[in-house]
């Protein structure tokens, strides 16, 4: 589905991502782990086209998207929920969902499907997004991304600063969504346990270089902890 091949990216002349090669297969959850500043967000920004790929290539469903703008990548089916869960703070929950659904044939149905995945949002439809809690905002951000009917959902630390019960709910939703087929998730996550429970594959990033990688699942935890300790 998504393939990064020898990708180099960064800010201006500063290269942050060095020669990263990784794959997100169809119908799978892939977790990227690494310490603060390892380059996880930078890698996602390159994948969605918000930062240029200076060398290497990115393909999506067999199409070379390396030079595509972010909006063209969205049209191809890549949705991105940035770290810090941005929605429009002055708009209500319902309006935040509606602006994404506008112009889509199945708009109303897509909003209903998203709300079914995050039922907690149903009681918050008239509340301004800026007044939601961190966990509620994260759920709204994922719900908005899903309205674009993505084939690949990219989430940057969806559990950052969120209480365990909401983390568990988001985790269940991710597993549930990918289990239905037709959607893959690329997840940046610092909670190793959470990431591995949901992930089929993991990659560890060290200072912009790819460290170890392997299959997910709880049994990989010791391996990942050792890789992160380096
Ligand atoms: N806009 C920017 N301009 C220049 N350097 C940046 C910029 N944003 C990030 N960096 C640098 O790039 C490196 C990687 O940052 P990045 O945000 O990708 O890390 P991260 O792995 O996502 O960290 P965290 O876990 O804290 O979110 C860091 O050294 C950071 O200082
Ligand atoms: Mg980050």
CA–centroid distance, 113 to ligand 2, in Å, is 29
158 SS3 class:
coil
* Alpha helical stretches, state H, the chain: 40-47, 70-76, 93-101, 107-117, 134-147, 164-179, 192-198, 221-229
CA–centroid distance, 188 to ligand 2, in Å, is 8
Return the CATH number at 145: 3.40.50.300
Mean pLDDT of 74-94: 90
Q: Which of 7, 9, 11, when mutated, tests ligand 1's pocket best, judged by the most ligand atoms within 8 Å of its CB? A: 11
Q: Which of 32, 42, 81, when mutated, tests ligand 1's pocket best, judged by the most ligand atoms within 8 Å of its CB? A: 42
Q: How confident is the model at residue 146 (pLDDT cuts 50, 70, 90)?
A: very high
CA–centroid distance, 83 to ligand 1, in Å, is 12
Structure tokens at 95: 């309006």
CB burial readout 145-171, b (16+ within 10 A) else e: bbbbebbbbbbbbbbbebeeebbebbb
Q: Which of 31, 34, 41, 82, when mutated, tests ligand 1's pocket best, judged by the most ligand atoms within 8 Å of its CB? A: 41
Q: Which atom of ligand 1 is nearest to the CA of 157?
A: 27
Q: At what angle do helices 164-179 and 134-147 cross, to 10 degrees?
A: 10
CA distance 53 to 71: 16
Integer-rounded Cα radius of gyration of the chain? 17
Return the number of other C-beta atoms located less than 10 Å from residue 217's C-beta.
14
Q: How confident is the model at residue 77 (pLDDT cuts 50, 70, 90)?
A: very high
Mean pLDDT of 78-104: 91
Domain enclosing residue 164, as ranges:
2-228
Q: How many CA atoms lie within 13 A of 57 on its CB side?
A: 6
Which has more pLDDT, 31 or 190?
A: 31
- Closest-approaching ligand to the CA atom of 34: 1
Residues in the chain: 230
Res 85: pLDDT: 66
Question: How many structural domains comprise the chain?
Answer: 1
Percent of the chain with pLDDT over 70: 99
User: pTM of this prediction?
Assistant: 0.94
Q: Does the Cβ of 10 fall within 6 Å of ligand 1?
A: no
Q: Which atom of ligand 1 is nearest to the CA of 188?
A: 22
Q: Does the Cβ of 135 fall within 6 Å of ligand 1?
A: no
Q: How confident is the model at residue 190 (pLDDT cuts 50, 70, 90)?
A: confident
1 SS3 class:
coil
Q: Which atom of ligand 1 is nearest to the CA of 45?
A: 18
CA distance 190 to 157: 7
Average pLDDT of the chain is 93
């Amino acid at each position: 589905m998504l393939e990064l091949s020898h990708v180099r990216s960064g800010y201006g002349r500063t290269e942050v991502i060095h020669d990263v090669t990784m794959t997100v297969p169809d119908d799978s959850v892939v977790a990227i782990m690494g310490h603060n500043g390892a380059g996880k967000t930078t890698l996602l920004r390159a994948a969605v086209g918000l930062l240029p790929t200076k060398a290497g290539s990115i393909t999506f469903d067999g199409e070379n998207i390396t030079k595509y703008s972010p909006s063209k990548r969205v049209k191809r089916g890549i949705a991105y929920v940035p770290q810090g869960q941005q929605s429009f703070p002055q708009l209500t929950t319902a309006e935040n969902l509606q602006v994404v659904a506008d112009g889509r044939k199945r708009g109303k149905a897509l909003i209903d499907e998203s709300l079914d995945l995050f039922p907690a949002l149903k009681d918050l439809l008239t509340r301004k997004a800026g007044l939601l809690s961190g966990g509620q905002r994260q759920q709204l951000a994922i719900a908005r991304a899903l309205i674009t009917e993505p084939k690949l959902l990219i989430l940057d630390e969806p559990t950052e600063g969120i209480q365990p019960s909401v983390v568990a709910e988001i985790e269940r939703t991710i597993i549930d969504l990918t289990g239905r087929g037709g959607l893959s998730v690329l997840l940046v996550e610092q909670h190793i346990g959470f990431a591995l429970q949901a992930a089929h594959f993991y990659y560890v990033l060290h200072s912009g270089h790819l460290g170890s990688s392997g299959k997910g699942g709880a049994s990989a935890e010791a391996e990942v902890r050792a890789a992160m300790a380096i």
